[in-house]
Protein backbone atom coordinates (compact mmCIF):
# COMPACT_ATOMS: atom_id res chain seq x y z
CA UNK A 1 0.00 0.00 0.00
CA UNK A 2 3.03 2.22 0.21
CA UNK A 3 2.94 3.21 -3.49
CA UNK A 4 -0.82 4.00 -3.19
CA UNK A 5 -0.19 6.30 -0.20
CA UNK A 6 2.53 8.08 -2.16
CA UNK A 7 0.31 8.49 -5.19
CA UNK A 8 -2.58 9.83 -3.07
CA UNK A 9 -0.28 12.29 -1.37
CA UNK A 10 1.17 13.52 -4.67
CA UNK A 11 -2.25 13.98 -6.27
CA UNK A 12 -3.61 15.81 -3.21
CA UNK A 13 -0.60 18.10 -3.05
CA UNK A 14 -0.80 18.91 -6.77
CA UNK A 15 -4.51 19.65 -6.43
CA UNK A 16 -3.96 21.82 -3.36
CA UNK A 17 -1.17 23.64 -5.15
CA UNK A 18 -3.32 24.43 -8.18
CA UNK A 19 -6.57 25.34 -6.39
CA UNK A 20 -7.50 27.79 -3.64
CA UNK A 21 -10.42 27.94 -1.18
CA UNK A 22 -11.52 31.20 -2.80
CA UNK A 23 -11.53 29.55 -6.23
CA UNK A 24 -13.59 26.65 -4.89
CA UNK A 25 -16.15 29.00 -3.31
CA UNK A 26 -16.24 31.04 -6.52
CA UNK A 27 -17.07 27.92 -8.53
CA UNK A 28 -19.65 26.74 -6.02
CA UNK A 29 -21.36 30.17 -6.14
CA UNK A 30 -21.56 30.05 -9.93
CA UNK A 31 -23.14 26.57 -9.84
CA UNK A 32 -25.72 27.74 -7.26
CA UNK A 33 -26.68 30.87 -9.27
CA UNK A 34 -26.94 28.88 -12.51
CA UNK A 35 -29.14 26.20 -10.95
CA UNK A 36 -31.44 28.82 -9.37
CA UNK A 37 -31.90 30.37 -12.82
CA UNK A 38 -32.48 27.08 -14.62
CA UNK A 39 -34.55 25.02 -12.17
CA UNK A 40 -37.73 27.20 -12.10
CA UNK A 41 -38.12 26.95 -15.89
CA UNK A 42 -37.86 23.18 -15.96
CA UNK A 43 -41.19 21.59 -16.87
CA UNK A 44 -43.03 20.79 -13.65
CA UNK A 45 -46.62 19.59 -13.40
CA UNK A 46 -48.32 22.45 -11.52
CA UNK A 47 -51.93 21.63 -12.47
CA UNK A 48 -52.54 20.24 -8.98
CA UNK A 49 -52.14 23.75 -7.54
CA UNK A 50 -54.84 25.34 -9.76
CA UNK A 51 -58.13 25.56 -7.86
CA UNK A 52 -60.94 23.78 -9.71
CA UNK A 53 -63.83 26.12 -10.57
CA UNK A 54 -67.26 25.01 -9.33
CA UNK A 55 -69.25 27.50 -11.42
CA UNK A 56 -71.42 28.05 -8.32
CA UNK A 57 -69.60 30.85 -6.53
CA UNK A 58 -70.03 34.26 -8.24
CA UNK A 59 -66.71 35.36 -6.73
CA UNK A 60 -64.75 32.79 -8.70
CA UNK A 61 -66.15 33.93 -12.07
CA UNK A 62 -65.15 37.19 -13.80
CA UNK A 63 -67.94 39.78 -13.49
CA UNK A 64 -68.16 40.06 -17.28
CA UNK A 65 -68.88 36.33 -17.63
CA UNK A 66 -71.33 36.31 -14.73
CA UNK A 67 -73.28 39.26 -16.17
CA UNK A 68 -73.48 37.67 -19.61
CA UNK A 69 -76.70 36.00 -20.79
CA UNK A 70 -74.51 33.02 -21.77
CA UNK A 71 -73.49 32.28 -18.18
CA UNK A 72 -74.99 28.85 -17.45
CA UNK A 73 -77.11 30.00 -14.50
CA UNK A 74 -79.05 32.40 -16.74
CA UNK A 75 -80.04 29.63 -19.18
CA UNK A 76 -83.76 30.39 -18.97
CA UNK A 77 -83.96 33.99 -17.80
CA UNK A 78 -86.32 36.53 -19.32
CA UNK A 79 -85.55 39.98 -17.96
CA UNK A 80 -82.76 42.34 -16.92
CA UNK A 81 -80.06 40.69 -14.79
CA UNK A 82 -80.31 42.14 -11.27
CA UNK A 83 -76.50 41.85 -10.91
CA UNK A 84 -76.31 44.70 -13.48
CA UNK A 85 -78.97 46.74 -11.66
CA UNK A 86 -77.53 47.23 -8.16
CA UNK A 87 -78.50 43.80 -6.83
CA UNK A 88 -76.88 40.39 -7.24
CA UNK A 89 -77.83 37.22 -9.07
CA UNK A 90 -79.75 36.13 -5.98
CA UNK A 91 -80.85 39.38 -4.31
CA UNK A 92 -82.93 42.35 -5.40
CA UNK A 93 -81.54 45.90 -5.73
CA UNK A 94 -82.38 48.29 -2.85
CA UNK A 95 -85.91 49.68 -3.08
CA UNK A 96 -87.34 46.62 -4.86
CA UNK A 97 -89.09 43.52 -3.56
CA UNK A 98 -88.69 39.94 -4.77
CA UNK A 99 -91.71 38.30 -6.35
CA UNK A 100 -93.03 35.38 -4.29
CA UNK A 101 -93.84 33.46 -7.47
CA UNK A 102 -91.33 32.64 -10.18
CA UNK A 103 -90.38 30.53 -13.15
CA UNK A 104 -88.07 27.63 -12.30
CA UNK A 105 -85.66 26.42 -14.97
CA UNK A 106 -83.15 23.59 -15.13
CA UNK A 107 -79.66 24.64 -16.21
CA UNK A 108 -76.56 22.61 -16.90
CA UNK A 109 -73.42 23.76 -15.07
CA UNK A 110 -70.52 23.04 -17.45
CA UNK A 111 -67.96 23.45 -14.64
CA UNK A 112 -69.12 20.39 -12.68
CA UNK A 113 -71.26 18.69 -15.34
CA UNK A 114 -74.40 18.73 -13.13
CA UNK A 115 -77.92 20.11 -13.67
CA UNK A 116 -79.37 22.65 -11.22
CA UNK A 117 -82.80 24.13 -10.55
CA UNK A 118 -82.74 27.91 -10.91
CA UNK A 119 -85.61 30.10 -9.71
CA UNK A 120 -86.08 33.27 -11.78
CA UNK A 121 -87.73 35.67 -9.35
CA UNK A 122 -88.48 39.16 -10.56
CA UNK A 123 -87.67 42.22 -8.45
CA UNK A 124 -90.58 44.62 -8.30
CA UNK A 125 -91.47 48.18 -7.36
CA UNK A 126 -89.21 50.28 -9.61
CA UNK A 127 -89.29 51.00 -13.34
CA UNK A 128 -87.46 48.62 -15.69
CA UNK A 129 -83.69 48.58 -15.15
CA UNK A 130 -82.99 48.24 -18.89
CA UNK A 131 -79.44 46.87 -18.42
CA UNK A 132 -78.22 43.35 -19.30
CA UNK A 133 -81.50 42.30 -20.93
CA UNK A 134 -81.59 38.53 -21.53
CA UNK A 135 -84.10 36.17 -23.05
CA UNK A 136 -82.61 32.69 -22.91
CA UNK A 137 -85.06 29.86 -23.30
CA UNK A 138 -83.61 26.50 -22.28
CA UNK A 139 -86.57 24.11 -21.76
CA UNK A 140 -89.05 26.99 -22.01
CA UNK A 141 -92.43 26.16 -23.59
CA UNK A 142 -94.83 28.43 -25.52
CA UNK A 143 -97.19 30.80 -23.69
CA UNK A 144 -100.15 28.41 -23.67
CA UNK A 145 -98.19 26.18 -21.30
CA UNK A 146 -98.28 28.98 -18.75
CA UNK A 147 -96.14 27.44 -16.00
CA UNK A 148 -93.43 26.39 -18.48
CA UNK A 149 -93.25 29.85 -20.05
CA UNK A 150 -90.84 32.49 -18.75
CA UNK A 151 -92.13 35.59 -20.56
CA UNK A 152 -94.33 36.51 -17.61
CA UNK A 153 -94.30 39.45 -15.20
CA UNK A 154 -93.87 37.59 -11.89
CA UNK A 155 -94.45 40.88 -10.06
CA UNK A 156 -98.16 40.40 -10.76
CA UNK A 157 -98.78 39.26 -7.18
CA UNK A 158 -96.78 42.07 -5.54
CA UNK A 159 -98.35 45.25 -4.09
CA UNK A 160 -96.37 47.17 -6.68
CA UNK A 161 -96.34 45.06 -9.84
CA UNK A 162 -93.82 47.23 -11.73
CA UNK A 163 -91.07 44.94 -13.04
CA UNK A 164 -87.45 46.06 -12.47
CA UNK A 165 -85.07 43.08 -12.97
CA UNK A 166 -84.78 39.30 -12.60
CA UNK A 167 -82.64 37.21 -10.25
CA UNK A 168 -81.30 33.72 -11.01
CA UNK A 169 -81.48 32.04 -7.62
CA UNK A 170 -79.76 28.69 -7.25
CA UNK A 171 -82.30 26.29 -5.71
CA UNK A 172 -80.31 23.07 -5.75
CA UNK A 173 -79.36 20.01 -7.73
CA UNK A 174 -81.93 18.78 -10.20
CA UNK A 175 -82.86 15.13 -9.83
CA UNK A 176 -82.44 13.36 -13.15
CB-wise, 61 or 77, nearer to ligand ABN? 77
| Active site annotation includes 122 | yes
- Reference 90, options 115, 121, 55, 46; nearest CA is 121
Catalytic residue among 3, 5, 115, 122, which? 122
β-partners of residue 122 are 166
β-partners of residue 170 are 118
Q: Is 122 among the residues that bind ligand ABN (CB under 6 A)? A: yes
The residue within the footprint of ligand ABN, chosen from 83, 105, 163, 167 (CB under 6 A), is 163
In contact, 116 and 110? CB cutoff 8 Å: no
| Active site annotation includes 154 | no
The residue within the footprint of ligand ABN, chosen from 110, 111, 151, 157 (CB under 6 A), is 151
The residue within the footprint of ligand ABN, chosen from 75, 129, 134, 152 (CB under 6 A), is 152
CB-wise, 91 or 153, nearer to ligand ABN? 153
Q: Is 140 among the residues that bind ligand ABN (CB under 6 A)? A: no
Q: How far, in Å, CA of 118 to CA of 120, rounded?
A: 6
CB-wise, 114 or 162, nearer to ligand ABN? 162
Q: How far, in Å, CA of 71 to CA of 15, rounded?
A: 71
Least spacing, CB of residue 37 vs ligand ABN, in Å: 59
| Virtual torsion, Cα 127, 132, 137, 139, nearest 10 deg | -90
Catalytic residue among 5, 57, 70, 103, which? 103
- Reference 73, options 39, 17, 119, 18; nearest CA is 119
Q: Which residues bind ligand ABN (CB under 6 A)?
A: 78-79, 122, 151-154, 163, 166
Active-site residues, by number, are: 103, 122
Amino acid sequence: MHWLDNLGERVSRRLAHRSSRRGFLNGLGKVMVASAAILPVLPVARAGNTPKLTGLDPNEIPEEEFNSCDYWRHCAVDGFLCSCCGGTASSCPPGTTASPISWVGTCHNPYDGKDYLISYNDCCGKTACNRCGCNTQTRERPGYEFFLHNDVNWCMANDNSTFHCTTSVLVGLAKN
